[in-house]
Structure 1
């Protein structure tokens, strides 16, 4: 049993999971803990870093107990995480200066618009591959530095540290010895030059962010430290394998070659296409980002970020009481043959790719006296496919690559109605992973390669996996008609 398993943390937007992987790549145990979303005012979203840390320890111990294992059986600990979310803390005490500002938070939208007006968009996109938006970390860090007085005191004493969630949790796991992030997470901060692969001095100056705050950037597949012995009972457990959640899912789906793509549907939806060693800069609102190749070394990818996917269903459930139990989503959506002209545009906090409109707001169009719960649920599911198609159409043109199959994962893909509608709208086969933990698996593969748990990517490629294939069955005129209706709805919410 010695060193026979990996422990992988998956820090999501609404919950934290710990997964135990064995040598066959199977998840043999998991533990999950949801946590509170904090909304100080409309459009603002925060998390309590203290809760994130405490729940990390809780799920780790629960997963080990479920598996009947101890720390002596763990070959390495890996981590994947919600990206762009910002935490600043005191390096001496570990105490955060403020709640984490979450990737969904729009408090810096006005500051980002000012950057655009002042002509910085082209320079930022050229260096980082990103569009200017409150989604990314830079403006959130700037907001904290300007609005939390403690930051300046700690800065003067060289005690202030910045990290995305991976950095903060790994710093705590290492007992404060490892202040690191990987290239996939760094590439989402809007401070990292993805060509030179270093923190960019011009961007740091633009946002007035001191270099001393920032972590060391390492490859995703690197062993970089060990867990604090006080946490493991004196057993040395390597820390290895880091990737932002969407890049981890891309790696877990084994999309290692240029032109392969996956889409993950959770709170939001993220379509990512591997473009290999060639960065493709987008004129249509897509993001150029760093991902990983088969070895876990840096590769480039195009990404379309859709802010609200499963969150649209959650809104119908928690705010409107349309859905009593998420297990009834397909029953409701499948009870009508088509949407009957009802479109839901889930722009609850703006629209992401390829629209990038922070001021757009959600709306439902096409309501009649016959509109009921089923129409709203079906419209929410269909909105995910329409947004995916808009992103994929742009992606294929700009990358010059034609997608043969889309691989999908994430909790929302349990919906057969959604996955079939995706295949119909995209007009390509869609393969649904049977394993719901591919994001964690991606980070686990990276950690395993880093410590020799698996010797090479070919071993990982041969690991068993199960997928279900959905073939397109919609006529071209019907597809065009539905997409036209969606675009008309979107046009009416754009600011």
Structure 2
């Protein structure tokens, strides 16, 4: 039976899974990678460690599966970049991680062009994206070799090719969103006009072959991690959306063939190129989710995330939390915002704080869902959910209650590699539709709203006032 090795190369680890034609997981292997956090907002990774993690996890998964694989798929971090020698594949710089803020100076210099960049790329001018970090490497580290996202370097080591996929390219700030091509003028703005840029491949395209995991097999299914999860959760039609609850929360909604420019400064990217079509998505972020739960643990209010549902009371007794532990994204865009708890009295107990934090996360995701609905021209009707914190029934029920939407839980912990595997499956068999490649899935749980619409609206209004104060630094 045909099996696919799907590799999810992430910020804190690399996961490799072998899946069969029915999407069943045959084997899993994970390798930890450790970013280095530097003064001044720097976040770096050792490129050799990234490559070793991909090769080691992949080989372990193939060995455990005990069956031949037909293809290798790769999902990537999206905006992490490095310089390297295209003749030898040798890294010429550390990998500068998507979280790195040192390219702020590059963005400041281009502030007067932020509106033009947003119009042409669908993105906000921010060091989060690839081009500012690429420019920073060229100014501060090396002028040698090429400078690309990590996926291009990893694929080069696997196949010898020089490619990226359309979804990853669209996260760069030098990509023409409407035409799905590199934009030379925008590259010039970042001082990258003379750079050799990788060929942009479709996500369901075979880009080369590799012997890294045994016999020679095709490499296909290249895509950004969050978009890969959008594929896996079958958000294939315009207006369908998913939220991943991990370190942060990432809400993505399929906008179909329309590269919608967000009215609320959400970002717009290529969702994927497949079946000879380019589909787009809008996305918004909640910066601290699992990291906020870890904060509760660090304070001793919680032993582990598994304890969340045992502690949560029926009501927060008026306590509200704005979980802006690392600032606020859309629609506030205030990176300096700080978290707040309000409404506390002498009767407030730790369980009220825990519930308030979970409700605060759900409220922030709800605001994103409302903004996405505005950009789509119609409200969302349901929300699909994946990620580690979907294990908390209290969080998922709060999400359904506050958003007044049913929440469908994805039944597998490996949405990202499964999405990449589906795209690779289509690359091997172009007669297969993406819908067929993804296959059917049924939610492991559906959370229906229990709150009345009036109660949800009252909560959202009160929470929004607290969030506005947090955004302005006016904690009461």
TM-score class normalised by the smaller sequence: over 0.9
How many angstroms apart in 2 are the aligned matches of 1:344 and 1:53?
Answer: 40
1:444 matched to 2:415? The reply is no
Q: What TM-score do you get using the length of structure 1 for normalisation?
A: 0.89
1:390 matched to 2:367? The reply is yes
1:201 matched to 2:184? The reply is yes
How many angstroms apart in 1 are the aligned matches of 2:300 and 2:34?
Answer: 20
How many angstroms apart in 1 are the aligned matches of 2:270 and 2:357?
Answer: 30
Cα displacement (A) at 1:114? 4.3
Q: Partner of 2:125 in structure 1?
A: 132
Cα displacement (A) at 1:441? 0.9
How many angstroms apart in 1 are the aligned matches of 2:72 and 2:452?
Answer: 48
Q: Partner of 2:302 in structure 1?
A: 323
How many angstroms apart in 2 are the aligned matches of 1:205 and 1:84?
Answer: 19
Residue from 305, 310, 320 that aligns with 2:290:
310
Aligned counterparts, 1:221-370, within 5 A: 221-227=204-210, 229=211, 231-233=212-214, 235-292=215-272, 295=275, 297-317=277-297, 319-332=298-311, 334=312, 336-370=313-347
Residue from 160, 173, 194 that aligns with 2:158:
173
Q: What TM-score do you get using the length of structure 2 for normalisation?
A: 0.93
Once the two structures are superposed, residues 54-85 of structure 1 have per-residue CA deviations (whole angstroms, 9 ceiling, x without a partner) of: 1111111221222223xxx1111001122212
1:62 matched to 2:60? The reply is yes
How many angstroms apart in 2 are the aligned matches of 1:190 and 1:104?
Answer: 16
Q: Partner of 1:157 in structure 2?
A: none
Q: Partner of 2:136 in structure 1?
A: 143
Larger deviation, residues 81-90 vs 343-352: 343-352
Q: Partner of 1:182 in structure 2?
A: 165
Larger deviation, residues 275-284 vs 82-91: 82-91
* Residues 1:207 and 1:20: Cα distance change in structure 2 (over 3 Å): same
How many angstroms apart in 1 are the aligned matches of 2:443 and 2:467?
Answer: 36
* Residues 1:60 and 1:138: Cα distance change in structure 2 (over 3 Å): same
Once the two structures are superposed, residues 175-223 of structure 1 have per-residue CA deviations (whole angstroms, 9 ceiling, x without a partner) of: xx11211111111111111112211112111110144342211111100
How many angstroms apart in 2 are the aligned matches of 1:402 and 1:209?
Answer: 40
Q: CA RMSD in A?
A: 2.2
Q: Secondary structure at the match of 2:445?
A: strand
1:27 matched to 2:6? The reply is no
How many angstroms apart in 2 are the aligned matches of 1:224 and 1:57?
Answer: 18
* Residues 1:382 and 1:358: Cα distance change in structure 2 (over 3 Å): same
How many angstroms apart in 1 are the aligned matches of 2:100 and 2:461?
Answer: 30
How many angstroms apart in 2 are the aligned matches of 1:375 and 1:296?
Answer: 51
* Residues 1:163 and 1:324: Cα distance change in structure 2 (over 3 Å): farther
CA contact (8 A) 1:162 1:215 kept: no
How many angstroms apart in 2 are the aligned matches of 1:384 and 1:129?
Answer: 26
Cα displacement (A) at 1:296? 7.3
How many angstroms apart in 1 are the aligned matches of 2:353 and 2:431?
Answer: 46
Structure 2 residue runs of 5 or longer lacking an equivalent are: none
Once the two structures are superposed, residues 62-117 of structure 1 have per-residue CA deviations (whole angstroms, 9 ceiling, x without a partner) of: 21222223xxx11110011222122222223433233222222222335434432x
Q: Partner of 1:101 in structure 2?
A: 96
Cα displacement (A) at 1:40? 0.6
Aligned pair count reads 472
